[in-house]
A and B are shown apart, each in its own frame.
Chain A
Amino acid sequence: MSIRRLAAEQPEGFAFTSANLEWAEAQIKKYPEGRQASAVLSLLWRAQEQIGGWLPEPALRYVADMLDMAYIRVYELVTFYTMFNLAPVGRYYVQVCGTTPCMLRGAEDIKDTCRKFIGEKDRVNDDGMFSWTEVECLGACVNAPMAQINNYYYEDLTPEKFESLLKRLRAGKDVEPGPQDGRQTSAPAGGPNTLTDPELYANDPSGPEPGSAGTTVIATEAKRPASKREKRPR
């Protein structure tokens, strides 16, 4: 963490798109009269999404005016919460987790890869495709090391896998989020190593077929409701 300042170069102004404006007004209505300022975080987040990952100064004033807040109060918020970016980010904004478990599992190498492939930390690279930063624990320690790219987690990284992942992103190819080593979410890396005795499931009609533990578990996992998978990108 470091001192956070507004970007030196700022756009002229900011306004919500009509869809976002409608959404924002609905958000504001959630709160009782006189407490509209409670909507500030969700509005700021939507503004950041609209602009493409960062908050320019006019957006702070726009949201403050919308909620009848003092500018300094909004300024306090966006400098406090590190998920608000105050300077432009790349089209793919890479947040590498550098907290202890990830660090022990090789986050330093991931960061080196970022430096090599993208460039200096907190700078948008030349073609505007990437920028990266180091963040505190993202809560995916089981799959360390990991990084968040835009809205998705990419886990179980190695420098090589990570670099090829970034290359595929740059080329506009499809990249599946989640563990990059073929592992099922946060299950043991080499497949299940407990509760593998088929006898356990012999009398359980809801469980997997006898003799098909292990892989079947993974297979059932894989058949999660389609709706959940649809949310994944590309």
Chain B
Amino acid sequence: MPKLIINDVEHDVPDGITLIQACDLVGVEIARFCFHERLSIAGNCRMCLVEIAGMPKPVASCAMSVNDLRPGRDGTLPTIMTESPTAKKAREGTLEFLLINHPLDCPICDQGGECDLQDQTMAYGYDAGRFQDNKRAVEDKYLGPLIKTCMTRCIHCTRCVRFMTEVAGVDELGAIGRGEDTEITTYLEHGMRSNLSGNVVDLCPVGALTSKPYAYIARPWELDKTPSIDVMDALGSAIRVDARGREVLRILPRINDAINEEWISDKARHVCDGLRTQRLDQPYVRRNGKLEPASWDEAFGVIAEKLKGLDGARFAAIAGDLPAAEEMFALKQLAEQIGSPNIDCRQDGAKLDPGLGRATYLFNTTIAGIDNADAFLLIGTDPRVEAPLLNARIHTRWRKAEQRLPIGLIGTEADLTYGYDYLGAGPETLAEIADGSHAFVKTLKDVKHPMVIVGQAALARPDGAAVLALAAKAAKTIGALNSDWNGFNVLHDAAARVAGLDLGFVPGKKGLDVEAILDAAGKGDMDVIYLLGTDEIDMDRLGDAFVIYQGSHGDRGAHRADVILPGAAYTEKDGTYVNTEGRAQMTARAIFPPGDAREDWTILRALSAVLGKTLPFDSLQDLRARMYEAHPNLALLDFIEPSDAATITKLASKPAKTGMGHFDLRIEDYYFSNPVARASSIMVSLRAMHADGSEKATGTDG
């Protein structure tokens, strides 16, 4: 622990950090543009200059390690002065140089109000520039449909370049030219091929990279900011929903080191325009084969008539990928009241069984645990698509590894941004790993903390349960199950799934699962099917069943429905979601649902009253009290119960008779994987760009 004197106060600071971090720790703020804690050190903006006693010149504090400082000749501790006349003058000089080539266009710049340069100019700027010559002008670059560029504003901090290379894992951005002619661009200005590219907008300390869809929409001080949780994947990334009036204008990441650090995927960030379009804003009832607007009473009346005297076995409920725990709990209760055991939250048909224990369907190592892992076995998963930030963590782990990190993939080959060994396509290879005969197992001899990550593609198959057991066996074989390390992980891609499994939203005694429900519906054995935000099943298989769709978007489910009950999207309700680690988190209402749409649990409560089977709660608090009573883990917000490795060991001992065939890609159409995304025009242009690079012609290049 080196001792330092920072601004006349003596401090002990940790080893191995830089001076700027030490100053941050003790509460002394130093201005910076290029330094970022999660990126490598560049030291090129020179804004963080400080004076160090005995040093002839000011020192860039971001690039100076606290361990490299020497005491004074008289034995005094290294003395750092951040506010001395020299330090201040150095920073003022740096800023004046930066402003020489920076346009004074703050009034028309989208960064205005949240601009590092603007803020620091208030602190260190002169009142007038002394520069008399022409300013530099730089051509704007095309970087895809998400990022608007105004490259004249760029101060060359290279944060964006470092982010894309180090975190996103793609060498897309670079700094071309030199000196005054330096420019940030992609190779020949193609759009950035990464689903994390939107983060460079947050990183840019000036207005050079701004959000294209959000251009000229609002100023930051006009927005109501609501901390919430993302539902585009099952990680539950922390987001901030910025709304004005009744519209969500943008979504930004919040810092949560346990999950998303401070990044979010492009889908989570830019899906917000999908919250405005294709919305269900009033109930509909199908009359004479045509959906017609109706009142809530009419819609409930039609449902009540259909359900009157119905045998519970002829009713089924399927929950989709986006509903919160509250409405799934309410729907489960309603189904119980109706007497139906046919409920399922696994619309993809994944063979996960809450009866086997919670650890069998969770990401037990936790996302932060990836940083400690020293080997990976990916089974039927493409984490880059299913959970982009989780993939970024693996990439970071891979990049920082001193030796080659053993990573094996069983399934479909994909570009994961890091090197891996392709082991095989399906259960046969997994069986070889499980019995230890595969060559990959031998490379894991010295690893202490291997991780097995099972994707949904491996489980959403007829032999999914056997694959799960086999994966547990493989985990045991490679030594992933110890008393202090549970390396068995199931990676979900639907935000609602884990909460559904926690709630036991799975078939009861003699109940049918999704596959069986659809089969029964096709044969005419199922009369009423309740879809709670369920859009990813094959609607043609529903046959002649009477379909109730409750959800936020007019998508596949609503098109097939006989009654539509308009619900709220994730930004419009307080809902509990459990992420793939088993961490319960809550979204918060940022805006109200549009038109007559209501929060989902209230719809189910109102419907139950019309059916004469009133659910026993009148407020969200009531509902939650009951839910927490039955499922206490949902009450532990932002907490992970230590997982039980014994459950996995037990699972591993189950006989596993798997089928053949390879594990497919789980999400083939990443930008279209849920109803909100399908309603988003930005997702459409992203999809076009990633499909064939023809995005420039779609007119989104504003």
Q: Which residues of A contact B (CB under 8 A)?
A: 1-4, 6, 57, 69-73, 75-76, 79-80
Is the beta-carbon distance between B186 and A72 smaller than 8 angstroms? yes
CB closest residue in chain B, given A6 = B188
CB closest residue in chain B, given A72 = B174
Q: Is B216 in contact with chain A by the CB < 8 A criterion?
A: no
Segment from B142-150, B177-185, B272-280, B407-415 that makes contact with A: B177-185
Known contacts A4-B177, A70-B171; can you find 18 more A-B pairs with CB under 8 A?
A1-B178, A1-B180, A1-B181, A3-B181, A4-B176, A6-B188, A69-B171, A70-B170, A70-B172, A70-B174, A70-B187, A71-B187, A72-B171, A72-B172, A73-B171, A75-B188, A76-B176, A80-B178
Is the beta-carbon distance between B174 and A80 smaller than 8 angstroms? no
**What is the CB-to-nearest-CB distance from A9 to chain B, in angstroms, rounded to a whole number?**
15
> How many residues from B make CB contacts under 8 Å with A?
17
CB-defined A-B contacts under 8 Å, sample of 27: A1-B178, A1-B179, A1-B180, A2-B181, A3-B183, A4-B181, A6-B188, A57-B188, A69-B171, A70-B170, A70-B171, A70-B172, A71-B187, A71-B188, A72-B171, A72-B174, A72-B185, A72-B187, A73-B171, A75-B174, A75-B176, A75-B188, A76-B174, A79-B177, A80-B176, A80-B177, A80-B178
Is the beta-carbon distance between B171 and A3 smaller than 8 angstroms? no
Interface residues of B in 159-207 (CB under 8 A from A): 170-181, 183, 185-188
**What is the CB-to-nearest-CB distance from B477 to chain A, in angstroms, rounded to a whole number?**
30
CB closest residue in chain B, given A81 = B178
**What is the CB-to-nearest-CB distance from A74 to chain B, in angstroms, rounded to a whole number?**
9
> In the assembly, what is the distance between CA of A190 and CA of B158, in Å?
54
Q: Which residues of B contact A (CB under 8 A)?
A: 170-181, 183, 185-188
A76 contacts across to B, CB distance below 8 A = 174-176
> In the assembly, what is the distance between CA of A79 and CA of B178, in Å?
7
A79 contacts across to B, CB distance below 8 A = 176-178
**What is the CB-to-nearest-CB distance from A206 to chain B, in angstroms, rounded to a whole number?**
47
CB closest residue in chain A, given B177 = A79
**What is the CB-to-nearest-CB distance from B398 to chain A, in angstroms, rounded to a whole number?**
13
> In the assembly, what is the distance between CA of A61 and CA of B180, in Å?
26
A2 contacts across to B, CB distance below 8 A = 181
**What is the CB-to-nearest-CB distance from B183 to chain A, in angstroms, rounded to a whole number?**
7
> In the assembly, what is the distance between CA of A58 and CA of B188, in Å?
12
Is the beta-carbon distance between B177 and A3 smaller than 8 angstroms? yes
B179 contacts across to A, CB distance below 8 A = 1
> In the assembly, what is the distance between CA of A75 and CA of B175, in Å?
9
> In the assembly, what is the distance between CA of A57 and CA of B189, in Å?
14
A3 contacts across to B, CB distance below 8 A = 177, 181, 183
A71 contacts across to B, CB distance below 8 A = 187-188
> In the assembly, what is the distance between CA of A80 and CA of B177, in Å?
5
B187 contacts across to A, CB distance below 8 A = 70-72, 75
**What is the CB-to-nearest-CB distance from A79 to chain B, in angstroms, rounded to a whole number?**
4
> In the assembly, what is the distance between CA of A71 and CA of B174, in Å?
10
CB closest residue in chain A, given B404 = A34
**What is the CB-to-nearest-CB distance from B123 to chain A, in angstroms, rounded to a whole number?**
33
B188 contacts across to A, CB distance below 8 A = 6, 57, 71, 75
